[in-house]
Amino acid sequence: MSLRDEARELDAMDPLAGKRAEFDLDPDVSYLDGNSLGAPPRAVAERLTEVVGKQWAGRLIRSWDEGWWAAPERIGDRVAPLVGAAPGQVVVGDSTTVNLFKALVAAVRLNPGRPEILLDDGTFPTDGYIADSAARLTGHVVRRVPVHEMADVASSRTAVALVNHVDYVTGVLHDLPGVTAALRSAGALTVWDLCHSVGAVPVHLDACEVDFAVGCTYKFLNGGPGSPAFLYVARKWLDSFDQPLTGWAGHADPFAMTAGYAGGSGIRRARAGTPDILSMLALDAALDVWLDVTVDQVRAKGLALGDFFLRCLDAGAPGVRVVTPRDHRRGNQISVAWPEAAAARTVMSALTDRGVIGDFRPPDVLRFGLAGLYVRYADVFRAAEELRALSET
């Protein structure tokens, strides 16, 4: 059986094949960039029409008391099962960058007398920028180390470690349970960045005793461009979470308009300013695609797609080097290095022109996201074929 025929057979047998119909996708495009921006669920446009036409235009300011104000916590509880958290520990709002700042500053305040912040040395740039800024403001120093060395490096000097669950370039899946346990043994707290794992890889924040976690919702959760991020705070820290952005939305009584700040109870104190209702309710609609599917199912398909993609690449993409682990120590993406670094960006542009959309990361990496809710085996076969064709030109 040819790989093309195998792709067709796998798609025919795929238990998640029907989910693709819930997304608004061009049938002629193989979209493999859901690890940057997820595809739009069809339900989102209809929901936003209702929000604008009925809630905003019809109810006007009354809508704040009819669901808008409570949306960050309510939608946070919808995200919670996707990251292994009990209700009341996740809030949706602000950006990943803002939530990282909240979590890091709160963590060092909870762990005084320890002057060091450990940082994943392959981190997404904004994580490093925020860690450096938080360190300057709090009098700490940032130490960049490979994730696999954190267990050995953590000490009585370490206040907190900021770690990415999935490396955004290579797709390597880091050992969240093991690293968290090792840091906890050293007395350090943890902040995990779940941007490339939420909605793709099972996450068990409560069971692993993670302290804080952040993540975006516009990748594998399909919330839309710039959709609000989320922040997880372990239950044991909810009452002592002293975050630096003490805006009115996190106040115990925000509409009392008092001069002094008093943090609200529970996860509410993680809020800062007025919630971005339009994008938040778009995310709310996007989360409906998870009502009849589990992260475990999506993970199984993502791994199967990756295994098939690797077989296709091995069969006919000379010179392309796979940089993502083959043994399932990966997120739901496959990254390859183009043999001529100077041409890699142009190659991705050429792929896009041919109807295969992935993305480029310097200096030479081409990334392909394998969102199990809508990516087909035919899509990854097509990507491998186009890579082969380009490698022969």
Domain boundaries defined on the chain:
3-31+293-391, 46-290
pLDDT digits (tens, 9 = 90+) for 70-83: 999 999 999 999 99
pTM above 0.85, yes or no: yes
Strand order in the sheet with 365-369: 321-322, 333-337, 365-369, 359-361
Please, is 250 exposed, middle or buried when counting C-beta atoms within 10 Å of its C-beta (0-12, 13-18, 19+)?
buried
pLDDT at 51 (0 to 100):
98
Asked if the model's pLDDT at residue 318 lies above 90, the reply is: no
Provide the pLDDT confidence category of residue 324 given band limits of 50, 70 and 90: very high
376 is catalytic: no
What per-residue string of b and e applies to 12-31 under the rule 16 or more CB within 10 Å gives b?
A: eebebeebbebbebeeeebb
Per-residue confidence (pLDDT) for residue 392, from 0 to 100:
83
354 a catalytic residue: no
Instruction: Say what the pLDDT of residue 317 is.
Output: 77
The answer to whether residue 124 is catalytic is: yes
CA distance to 188, 264, 302, 372, per residue, from 296 (Å): 30, 35, 10, 10
What's the pLDDT score for residue 291?
A: 97
Whether 3-31+293-391 and 46-290 share one fold: the answer is no
Has 294 been labeled as part of a binding site?
A: no
- Annotated ligand binding at 148? The verdict is no
pLDDT band at residue 86, thresholds of 50, 70 and 90?
very high
CA nearest neighbour of 305 among 35, 80, 81, 82: 35
Q: Which residue among 120, 167, 193, 379 is the active-site one?
A: 193
Fold of 46-290: Aspartate Aminotransferase; domain 2 (3.40.640)
SS3 letters for 23-55? ECCCCCCEECCCCCCCCCEHHHHHHHHHHHHHH
Of the residues 31, 124, 374, 381, only one is catalytic, namely: 124
According to DSSP, the β-strands at 365-369 and 230-233 are: unpaired
Annotated binding-site residue? 97: yes
pLDDT range class, residue 319, cuts 50, 70, 90 = confident
Q: Is 196 one of the annotated binding-site residues? A: yes
Cα-flanking dihedrals φ and ψ of residue 155, to 5°?
A: -150, -170
Compute the average pLDDT of residues 348-371. 97
Is pLDDT of 114 > 80?
A: yes
Domain 3-31+293-391, CATH number (from 3.90.1150.10, 3.30.930.10, 3.40.50.10260, 3.10.20.30):
3.90.1150.10
218 is catalytic: yes
Does 140 appear as a known binding residue? no
Return d(Cα 43, Cα 33) in angstroms, integer.
20
pLDDT band (50, 70, 90) for residue 163: very high
What pLDDT is stored for residue 147 in this prediction?
Answer: 98
**Per-residue pLDDT at 241:** 96
Is the CB of residue 24 less than 8 Å from the CB of residue 42? Answer: yes
Is 158 labelled as part of a ligand binding site? no
Q: For residues 305 and 299, what is the distance between their CA atoms, to the nearest angstrom?
A: 10
Active site residue 296: no
Strands (E), the chain: 30-31, 90-92, 116-120, 141-145, 158-164, 189-193, 212-215, 230-233, 321-322, 333-337, 356-357, 359-361, 365-369
Calculate the average pLDDT of the chain. 97
Please identify which of the residues 78, 102, 157, 219 carries the catalytic annotation.
Answer: 219
The reply, when asked if residue 180 is annotated as ligand binding, is no
- pLDDT mean over 335-361: 96
- pLDDT, average across residues 6-10: 98
Residues 261-287, mean pLDDT to the nearest whole number: 97
pLDDT > 90? residue 393: no
Q: Does the annotation flag 138 for ligand binding?
A: no
